[in-house]
Amino acid sequence: MPESTDARPNPISWTGGGDGFLTLIDQTRLPTDLVYLNCQSVEDVWQAIKRLSVRGAPAIGIAAAYGVVLGVRDEALLGSPPPAKGPSEAKRAAHAAADHLATSRPTAVNLFCALDRMRGVIDSLEDELPPAQIGKRLLAEAVAIHEADRAQCAAIGRHGAELLADLGSGAGIITHCNTGMLATGGDGTALAVLFTMHDDGKKPRVYADETRPLLQGSRLTAWELMQRGVDVTLICDSMAAPLLRDGKAQAVIVGADRITANGDAANKIGTYGLAVQAKHHGVPFYVAAPTTTFDLALQSGADIPIEERAAEEITEPYGKRTAPEDVPVWNPAFDVTPAELIAGIVTERGVISPVTEEAVREMVSEG
């Protein structure tokens, strides 16, 4: 199973064979506590995704793929033979697991890409296969999804570092939300670019938006960057504009949860505003994402379903009421940045710039 290559924590790991279990870092407990969750069932994985114990578009997809394996685990342990006709109970259980996991969060397209790959494997298997063999085949596919994302992260890091090489050492770069190892199967997307620059001696000065209301920037991104020795300064989301005005940032780079055919990008709420501010101040705004994050079936960002989350995330963060009782709340988890505000999209295959529908389709269809 994929394991960390160094002493850093491993956010997503599988223990055992087809009858094993999934282990996740509970990201809701960071940065004060490093707690691991052992997911023994499909419902465990669904709940972990829903409550943001695992988050980040690629990481959600990877976790869901392993969740499908858990869907057949009980059948494998029972060792029951398949019925004489029709698909085996294990295959039905795997499809049911995929269907359930698909309802956990609506915006990140990586979730659906990973589940479609798992469904393809399920459908390709003979009905006569014992449940244990079905679980073994599905586990191999989940591991392949995990390893592919690890490689994509490394490639994104290289392409992004080359793109930003002209900024020179010590350049100020703003990032939003969390796009590192906690959000992916490797070093991340936008953070992989910053890690690669740091390792190459460019030593960027990173400004991490705290990312309200759930503070993924302060809780997760600042923690990750400090773990790697990267120069990071935490700022409130509302501080980005004066930072850009004063010339302290030479670039902005963020991740994405879904990118449409025309290059519009959905990402954590607050990204759109940051892109507008960067454009106003003449600072390039970049998106880093694997090609699995592109959804060419959607023409523009207007077609992206935007998840809305509980009011309590704003009115009672961490159990502390900070707003009047019964005040109406609007809490979308994501917003959409129009392609015209994006200077380039960094993928594992290269950089899309300028961002046009033709360039997007050409890059994504290469594979």
Closest to 47 (Cα-Cα) out of 222, 38, 134: 38
Quote the CA–CA distance of 279 and 289 in Å, as a whole number. 20
DSSP string, 276-312: HHHHHTT--EEEE--GGGEETTS-SGGGS---B--TH
Quote the CA–CA distance of 171 and 176 in Å, as a whole number. 17
Q: List Cα–Cα distances, 183 to 85, 144, 177, 189, 261, in angstroms.
A: 42, 17, 10, 8, 23
Lookup: tokens for 166: 């002209």
Lookup: tokens for 58: 């690629």
Quote the CA–CA distance of 93 and 144 in Å, as a whole number. 21
Q: Which residues, other chains included, contact 269 with Cβ-Cβ below 8 Å and sequence gap of 6+? A: 332, 333, 334, 335
Catalytic residue check, 257: yes
Intra-chain end-to-end CA distance of the chain, in Å: 25
44, 187, 237, 257: which one is catalytic?
257
Cα 3 off chain centre by? 18
DSSP 8-state code for residue 332: B
Quote the CA–CA distance of 293 and 104 in Å, as a whole number. 17
Coil vs helix vs strand at 51: coil
Is residue 20 a contact partner of residue 67, using CB atoms and an 8 Å limit?
A: no
Lookup: tokens for 326: 């019964």
Q: Listing from the earlier edge strand, what are the strands of the sheet with 21-25?
A: 12-15, 21-25, 36-39
Q: Which residues, other chains included, contact 194 with Cβ-Cβ below 8 Å and sequence gap of 6+? A: 173, 175, 204, 206, 225, 230, 253
Tokens 């954590």: give the residue. 268
- Residues with catalytic function: 257
